[in-house]
């Protein structure tokens, strides 16, 4: 197991509330918020106080515990409690549509809610235990992803990443940046190029913050620069995270990832996706079925609250794109690196789970 320890803990259940790092304040402030109600958690996911597929999965699991605690005090019959809590669970799942981890975590909590052998108190207690368990497992899973991924990082490599798939997109350690952390533990000569990632700038605001906090050399570039540096031979591999991966290996990730994958293919640079099995949606055959979140137009028309374009211009703002499986060298998971053909390797990974 990896020797690298990151100080970052993005989300943590404490007694009867959830503690989150507020990601809207980066890079100026590193502050925590205490989330004490289900509605507060819904808003935290929606407004991206917490973001990144694995982190919002755990936030969803915690949010259901918070709703359960509230409903427990309302003198409901068991049936009323269950019906209400299932509705609240669907509501929390609706906060963000693309990342399948939210659906995955909500389903795990729903199976406890639906257990006919538990009374209300037992349901609340089991939800709490499970929320904490999923939280702690996330870090261990990321460390395994990191260690598998480190095996394919060449000595002294420069690794390009897009968006933030780090400790701050998970409970801790990270998926794509977990690979970086595990590789760096063995080889301190590796470095990272981070795409800025317009429009929300997760690369600039978050990836550079967490990597520099951990002392990992990082260079920030704007999104349009990646092929320039690839042509110059300055990028050895690409590792990104994912928000949903279809059964055939098509992978949805932050908008702009597809462009990076095409550039990597053209320049013969390995392109890896690092993600836990909970990001793989075996219910869909291909990326065509992935719902892409359309985000606020203000994200495109403004920077730091200041308008950067003409009034009256048309705006489209998809939050994610889908990289076709043929551009992906491997999918780094907690059970190993899956290789093409992904239909077969993904099915096998789930068989052996």
By beta-carbon proximity to ligand MRU, the closer residue of 248 and 323 is 323
Q: Residue 57 interacts with ligand MRU (CB under 6 A)?
A: no
124, 159, 163, 204: residue in contact with ligand MRU (rule CB under 6 A): 163
CB-wise, 49 or 113, nearer to ligand MRU? 49
254 part of the interface to ligand MRU, by CB under 6 A: yes
The stretch near ligand MRU (CB under 6 A) out of 47-55, 81-89, 264-272, 296-304 is 47-55
Q: Closest-CB residue for ligand MRU? A: 241
**What are the angstrom distances between the C-alpha of 311 and each of 26, 238, 315?**
28, 37, 11
Q: Where are the alpha helices (DSSP H) in 151-284?
A: 176-186, 202, 208-213, 226-231, 257-266
User: 195 or 236: whose CB is closer to ligand MRU?
Assistant: 195
- Options 243, 250, 281, 321, the catalytic residue: 243
Spatial separation of the C-alpha atoms in residues 38 and 148, rounded to whole Å: 36
| β-pair type (320-323, 251-254) | antiparallel
User: Nearest approach, Cβ of 42 to ligand MRU (angstroms)?
Assistant: 15
Asked if residue 175 lies in contact with residue 276, where contact means CB atoms within 8 angstroms, the answer is yes
Q: 218 or 253: whose CB is closer to ligand MRU?
A: 253
Of positions 89, 175, 207, 247, contacts ligand MRU by CB under 6 A = 175
Rounded Cα–Cα distance for residues 290 and 261 (Å): 18
Residues 196-215 that bind ligand MRU (CB under 6 A): 202
Interacting span for ligand MRU (CB under 6 A) from 34-42, 74-82, 160-168, 341-349: 160-168
For position 54 contacting ligand MRU by CB under 6 A, the verdict is yes
Q: Are the CB atoms for 272 and 330 separated by under 8 Å?
A: yes
Answer yes or no whether residue 139 interacts with ligand MRU by CB under 6 A.
no
Torsion angle, CA of 323/25/190/165, rounded to 10 degrees?
-30
How do beta strands 218-221 and 237-240 pair?
unpaired
- Cβ atoms of residues 235 and 268 within 8 Å: no
Q: Is 147 a catalytic residue?
A: no
Q: Nearest approach, Cβ of 120 to ligand MRU (angstroms)?
A: 33
- In the three-class reduction of DSSP (H, G, I as helix; E, B as strand; rest coil), residue 218 is classed as strand
149 within 8 A of 179, measured Cβ to Cβ: yes
Q: Is 143 one of the binding residues for ligand MRU (CB under 6 A)?
A: no
Under the rule (CB under 6 A), what is the footprint of ligand MRU? 51-54, 163-165, 169-170, 175, 202, 240-243, 253-254, 319
């Amino acid at each position: 197991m990896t020797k690298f320890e990151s100080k970052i803990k993005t989300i943590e259940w404490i007694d009867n509330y959830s503690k989150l790092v507020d990601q809207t304040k980066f890079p100026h402030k590193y502050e925590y918020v205490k989330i004490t109600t289900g509605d507060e958690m819904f808003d935290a996911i929606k407004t991206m106080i917490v973001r990144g597929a694995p982190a919002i999965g755990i936030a969803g699991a915690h949010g259901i515990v918070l709703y359960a605690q509230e409903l427990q005090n309302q003198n409901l019959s068991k049936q009323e409690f269950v019906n209400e809590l299932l509705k609240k669970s669907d509501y929390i799942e609706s906060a963000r549509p693309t990342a399948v981890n939210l659906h995955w975590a909500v389903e795990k909590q729903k199976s406890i809610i639906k257990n006919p052998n538990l009374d209300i108190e037992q349901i609340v207690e089991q939800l709490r235990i499970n929320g904490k368990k999923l939280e702690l497992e996330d870090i261990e899973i990321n460390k395994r992803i990191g260690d598998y991924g480190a095996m394919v990082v060449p000595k002294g490599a420069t690794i390009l990443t897009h968006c933030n798939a780090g400790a701050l997109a998970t409970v801790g350690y990270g998926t794509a940046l977990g690979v970086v952390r595990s590789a760096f533990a063995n080889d301190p000569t590796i470095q990272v190029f981070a795409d800025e990632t317009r429009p929300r700038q997760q690369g600039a605001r978050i990836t550079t913050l967490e990597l520099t906090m951990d002392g990992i050399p990082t260079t920030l570039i704007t999104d349009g620069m990646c092929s320039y540096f690839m042509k110059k031979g300055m990028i050895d591999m690409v590792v990104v995270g994912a928000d949903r991966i279809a059964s055939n290996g098509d992978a949805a990730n932050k908008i702009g990832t597809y462009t990076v994958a095409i550039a990597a293919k053209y320049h013969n640079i390995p392109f890896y996706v690092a993600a836990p099995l909970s990001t793989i949606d075996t219910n869909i055959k291909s990326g065509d079925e992935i719902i892409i979140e359309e985000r606020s137009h203000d994200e495109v028309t403004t920077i730091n609250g200041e308008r950067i374009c003409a009034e009256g211009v048309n705006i489209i703002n998809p939050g994610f794109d889908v990289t076709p499986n043929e551009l992906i060298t491997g999918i780094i998971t907690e059970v190993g690196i899956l290789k093409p053909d992904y239909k077969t390797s993904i099915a096998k990974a789930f068989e052996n789970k």
